[in-house]
Chain A
Amino acid sequence: MCGICGCGSTTIAGGIVPRDSQSHGHDHHHHDHHHHHESGAVGSAAEDATRRLRVERDILEDNNRAAGANRVWFTERGVLALNLLSAPGSGKTTLLVRTITDLMTAGTAADRPITVIEGDQQTDLDAARIRATGVPAIQINTGKGCHLDAAMVTRAATSLALAQGSVLFIENVGNLVCPAAFDLGETHRVVVVSVTEGEDKPLKYPDMFHSADLMLINKVDLLPHVAFDVERCVALARTVNPSLVALPVSATTGEGLDAWYGWLRAHHPAPRLAHAKPI
């Protein structure tokens, strides 16, 4: 990986996947600065033959195209794909482990198989925690990258034989800024904030809360010990996103989790193509 610009390799489950973005070739490691004057002297006819072109292209178009394809793919298979977003340390993975364990105990996993894509800069520790529950998990290491993008999810989803009607949890890199811009093709965005953080996070990171469909307020078992006003947090989040649904939960004690599981059941789409096969 490049320590100057930060671009690097993205690895999926231990394998190195070259990033499309390496087309700039890493020539920036050479800090001498070449200008290409060999085509003629400065001011020659060749140098002056410039033209202006209207381009009008969305900078995120590649990502949005891949996200659109992912969304069609998930929808056709009745997959509920959830992009889980939060700051580091909000308890996302613990919440996920508890959710999977509870849903499997309730017998839901039999008709709604669960699969997880884990995104972190380094290590497959989180994927290992998920696999310990018995569900398949694939780890994407973004290297220096600060977010998952749609193409990473395409590659990960392709390597997981996703069953019809399954629930796919995509745990994004812990970061409330960068992942907001990158549509993964998810069915819904779920942002997790914990009561050990500031209740004004929704105003400090408005893009993230604006784009979310559900906010889980985690670690509510700690409320007696911290100065966190749940109602104020919800009110601030709704100034950014008036239709945001908010559920207080504790992954440790289980408080509020039934409402979260109810939300999952209510948002599960019906498969649209009966014969779509996993790829």
Chain B
Amino acid sequence: MHELALTESILRIVETEAERQGFSSVRAVWLELGALSHADPDAIRFCFDTVTRGSLAEGARLTIERPPGQGWCMICSVTVPLARRFDPCPHCGGHQVQVTDGDDMRLTELEVA
């Protein structure tokens, strides 16, 4: 379950931001986990409570947004929606589709005190 390592990375980012921006406790965390990204939101939630226990983010509210997948079909030269990484282009049925969105995993926002 690599979500544990991802959640530990999230806590490290929070800790470095605390040092940089001068806060001592985190009330809420917003994540963007793209629909095509490597993270399962439920597993991140499961890990988040455990990993943050005893830290400045203990008890913080976690909000996870899931930007949908998008790709660029090289045959049709159009942006197409992608529910899964290997979905074909809905216009030509081909697989020459480059993922352009929904692949990222980012910590976007914090509510701090």
The judgment on whether A and B are partners is yes
A→B interface (CB under 8 Å) = 4-7, 20-21, 23-28, 30, 33-36, 46-47, 49-63, 145-147, 149, 177-182, 203, 206-207, 210, 238-240, 242
Distance to closest chain A CB from B48 (angstroms): 11
Contact, CB under 8 Å: A149 / B110: no
Q: CB < 8 Å: which of B1, B11, B39 contacts A23?
A: B11
B107 at the interface (CB under 8 A from A): yes
A206 to B50, CA, bound (A): 29
Enumerate chain B residues within 8 angstroms of A60, measured Cβ to Cβ: 6, 9, 105
Q: Nearest 8 pairs between A and B by C-beta?
A: A27-B54, A178-B2, A181-B38, A28-B53, A21-B8, A59-B105, A240-B86, A5-B50
B→A interface (CB under 8 Å) = 1-2, 4-6, 8-13, 15, 17, 21, 23, 25, 27, 31, 38-39, 47, 50-55, 58-59, 84-86, 88, 95-96, 104-113
Distance to closest chain A CB from B46 (angstroms): 10
Question: Given known contacts A24-B11, A60-B9, A206-B86, is B2 in contact with A147 (CB within 8 Å)?
Answer: yes
Contact, CB under 8 Å: B113 / A47: yes
Q: CB < 8 Å: which of A53, A58, A180, A182 contacts B110?
A: A53
Contact, CB under 8 Å: A147 / B88: no
Distance to closest chain A CB from B3 (angstroms): 9
Contact, CB under 8 Å: B53 / A53: no
Main secondary structure, interface of A, reads mixed
A52 to B9, CA, bound (A): 20
Contact, CB under 8 Å: A146 / B2: yes
Enumerate chain A residues within 8 angstroms of B8, measured Cβ to Cβ: 7, 21, 24
Enumerate chain A residues within 8 angstroms of B84, measured Cβ to Cβ: 206
Contact, CB under 8 Å: B9 / A59: yes
A21 to B95, CA, bound (A): 39
Q: CB < 8 Å: which of A28, A178, A210 contacts B50?
A: A28
Contact, CB under 8 Å: B113 / A54: no
Contact, CB under 8 Å: B109 / A55: yes
